[in-house]
Amino acid sequence: MARYTFVTDDDPQEQVDMHMSIVEYSRRVKGGRIRLSDGRMARVDWQAFGNISSVPGNYPMESDSMGVGIHQVEAASKADAAAGLPTEYNKKTGAAIFRDKRHRREYCERHKVYDRNGGHSDPQLGGRN
């Protein structure tokens, strides 16, 4: 899903970030305007549009679920590098940072987790695709 930024009509300083699929975006946004869930109207913030986080494919991606405790960041990073899969972690949150789809898939397979809602290139049950 992509992240889109809107600016409300009643307060031009208020930005609203929304995550939605392209299908949902094309259904809800007409002429660059959207009705928010609270009933207010907002317009696409075209200045922020260039920073949309879905190009390409939401990478680099931070994953809280594959992260570690902040006190474990250094040890986890060293262990991953020693296993041949260097991985960075957010030092403030401990979230794993995946560089691309391949890095995410290999990391998840190494840690024996999979994405049951994923596509053909996402981590699969049973390892290698």
Task: Give the domain ranges of the chain.
Answer: 2-49, 61-110
- The answer for residues whose C-beta is within 8 angstroms of residue 76's C-beta and 6 or more apart is 68, 87, 89
Q: What is the pLDDT of residue 61?
A: 84
3-class secondary structure for the chain?
CEEEEEEECCCCCCEEEEEECHHHHHHHCECCEEECCCCCEEEECHHHHCCCCCCCCCCCEEECCCCCCHHHHHHHHHHHHHCCCCCEECCCCCCEEECCHHHHHHHHHHCCCCCCCCCCCCCCCCCCC
For the segment 12-44, what is each residue's pLDDT rounded down to a tens digit?
788 999 998 889 999 999 988 999 999 999 998
Which residues are CB-neighbours of 27 under 8 A, at least 6 positions away? Answer: none
Q: Per DSSP, what are the bridge partners of residue 16?
A: 6
- The pLDDT of residue 84 is 92
Single pTM value for the model: 0.53
